[in-house]
Structures are given as structure tokens and as C-alpha cells.
Amino acid sequence: MSTTTHTLSALNRDNFKAVARALTIVENDLAGAGELLKNLQFAKNTPIIGITGPPGAGKSTLVNALISNLIKHGNKIAVLAIDPTSPFNFGSLLGDRIRMSAHFNDPGVLIRSLATRGSLGGLSAKTIEMTDVLRAAGFDYVFVETVGVGQSEVEIAGLADITLLVLVPESGDEIQNIKSGLMEIADAFVVNKADRADADLLANNLKKLTEQKNGQLPVFKAIASQGEGIDEIISFITTAKHQQNSRREMLLAEKAYRMIQQKRMADVNKRELQQQIAKEANQPGFNLYNFVNRYLG
């Protein structure tokens, strides 16, 4: 039996070691990764739930609360926590695994951190492949928590079946300045830390803003650290997952685009690119466009 066949046969939500092995093969593009992906089987329609929003909004705390609710009903949950990659040493901060430590040893929860690999929107093509591995393993829900970096985070729309945009009352003064792209990717808004001042004002402004742009979207108020407002969000997710097919073609096209983009850029190593720039940038007559053309040619 080949390694790929063995990995596929063992891929099951009850076998975390096998799932982790498959994720590692795919993430690092190890031998057999392509064959593994081409032979994935999807026996159930697992929803991919994107959790996005600015830093400090309490995304990890919200995911923790959602997990606590869902596992009470026997669900198996997987989480991909996307951590920022340093542009200087290309390492990942991997902070989300610390913030989700309450579920580290839970037999119903698998948590995996993934570096952004330089993708501005907090997502790389590897994220798509890894979520498909988790779907094939048969998890009931897969959460993808992205880096809060602004408008470029609209990339999550090409991955998630359901996207929750998490904000805090302090965002109220900035709500009119939030880029339209980020607003439009949300399927629902969560005003977290709703015990703070101006939570009602922010929620009302969001309702008015979404009504003007694309019809009324759900706006939930929550205090994730205390588990308040979580039942309503779970109810929305459970209902919305049955309506995924309405955007299936768009999701598949976006996924295909990311994968093709990744393959065509496979021979461009960002670390080597930076080292080469460091060698040439201060030389007389250096021209960035000539430098780039060497890669394009």
C-alpha cells in the first residue's frame, strides 16, 4: 500500500494523527501531496466558516465560545488559525493556538495554525487545500480564523461558505471608513464585547449600512468571553449552512484561481527574492523593472 493510499484510508475525524499527517503533507508540499488532494472524497457537506475582523476584536475568543457550544451536541470541530508571517524572517507568530488552549486536549476539536506565507489577505492557496483535507476527514464544522489586516481580507470570500465579520464597539467611529469590500464579504456581523459603551450604536449603524448596500444582514451582539449571544450565532450558522449551494460556483472559481496562481508562482521563492534584491539594489544603475523582467522572462 502506498503512503498516499495509507494516508487517505486513515483520514478520519476520529484519527487526529492521520489528519495532522495529511495536513503536514499538503502544507509543506511533501511527496504525494498532489495525489492525496486529487483523491480526496467528500462524504458530507461540511461548512467552512470564516471568522474575520480587525485585531483585538476577540475573534479567537468567539471561536472558543462557538466551539464550546457545538461540541455539547457531539460535533467534531476543526480550526485553522491563520497567523501572520513576518516579512523579515518569514516565521509565523502562531498566537491563536495559545488563545484557544482551552480546547487543546479536547477529543472533539482539532486546532491547527497556518502561516500566511506572505499572502496579504491572510490566506494562501494552502489554506484552501488544508480546509479540503479537513472536509474530507468528515468534521462537522471547519472554522478559519484570518489575520485582521483590512480590505485585502476579502480573500476569505473565496474560501468560506459562511463569513462572520467581528467588530467591537470602539469600531463605531470608524464604521463609515471600513472599506466596502470588507463589508460586502460578510454574511453576518458580530459586535463582540457588547457590554462596552456604544455597542448598540454600532449595531444600529451596521444594520443601516448593510441595508443601504446589499439588503439587511444579521447583526449579532455578543460577549464571547462570557458565552453571551453565542446561541443566536450558532442558530444562524446552522441555518446558513443549508444555503451554501447558492454561491458554490463562485467559491469553486475562486479556489481554482488561487490554486492556479500558486502553481504558476511555485518557482518564485520570496526569501531568495529578498536576498537577491539586497545584493543588487545598491548597485549603480539598478532598475526594479529590469530585475522583475528576469523572473517574467
Higher pLDDT, 24 or 89: 24
Q: What is the pLDDT of residue 89?
A: 40
Q: What is the pLDDT of residue 247?
A: 62
Q: What is the pLDDT of residue 268?
A: 81
Higher pLDDT, 179 or 278: 278
In the predicted model, is pLDDT for residue 4 greater than 70? Answer: yes
For residues 95-120, average pLDDT = 69
pLDDT band at 293 (very low <50, low <70, confident <90, very high): confident
Angle CA 235–121–251, to nearest 5:
55
Q: Which CATH architecture has domain 42-264?
A: 3-Layer(aba) Sandwich (3.40)
Q: What is the pLDDT of residue 280?
A: 92
Report pLDDT digits (tens) over 188-240. 999 999 999 989 988 988 888 777 655 678 999 999 999 999 999 999 998 87
Q: With contact defined as beta carbons under 8 Å apart, do 182 and 176 qualify?
A: no
What's the rounded Cα separation, in Å, for the pair 62 and 223?
8
DSSP string, 157-194: GGT-SEEEEEE-GGGGGGGGGS-HHHHHT-SEEEE-ST
Q: With contact defined as beta carbons under 8 Å apart, do 40 and 103 qualify?
A: no
What's 144's DSSP letter? Answer: E
What's the rounded Cα separation, in Å, for the pair 49 and 52?
10
Length of the chain: 297
Higher pLDDT, 183 or 162: 162
Q: What is the pLDDT of residue 241?
A: 67
CATH 3.40.50.300-classified regions of the chain? 42-264
Report pLDDT digits (tens) over 235-282. 999 887 655 555 667 767 777 887 787 778 877 888 888 899 989 998
Q: What is the pLDDT of residue 184?
A: 66
Q: With contact defined as beta carbons under 8 Å apart, do 143 and 66 qualify?
A: yes
Q: With contact defined as beta carbons under 8 Å apart, do 258 and 125 qualify?
A: yes
pLDDT band at 141 (very low <50, low <70, confident <90, very high): very high
What are the cell numbers at 257?
484561481
Write down the mean pLDDT value for the chain: 81
DSSP-assigned beta bridge partners for residue 256: none
What's the rounded Cα separation, in Å, for the pair 150 and 215?
22
Q: What is the pLDDT of residue 271?
A: 84
What are the cell numbers at 286?
539598478
Higher pLDDT, 293 or 177: 293
Q: What is the pLDDT of residue 216?
A: 74
In the predicted model, is pLDDT for residue 111 greater than 70? Answer: yes
End-to-end CA distance of the chain: 42
Confidence (pTM): 0.81
Q: What is the pLDDT of residue 231?
A: 96
Q: In what order do the strands lie in the sheet with 162-167?
A: 109-115, 77-83, 141-145, 48-52, 162-167, 188-191, 219-221
What's the rounded Cα separation, in Å, for the pair 290 and 278?
15
Q: What is the pLDDT of residue 86?
A: 43
In the predicted model, is pLDDT for residue 144 greater than 70? Answer: yes
Percent of the chain whose predicted confidence (pLDDT) is above 90 = 37
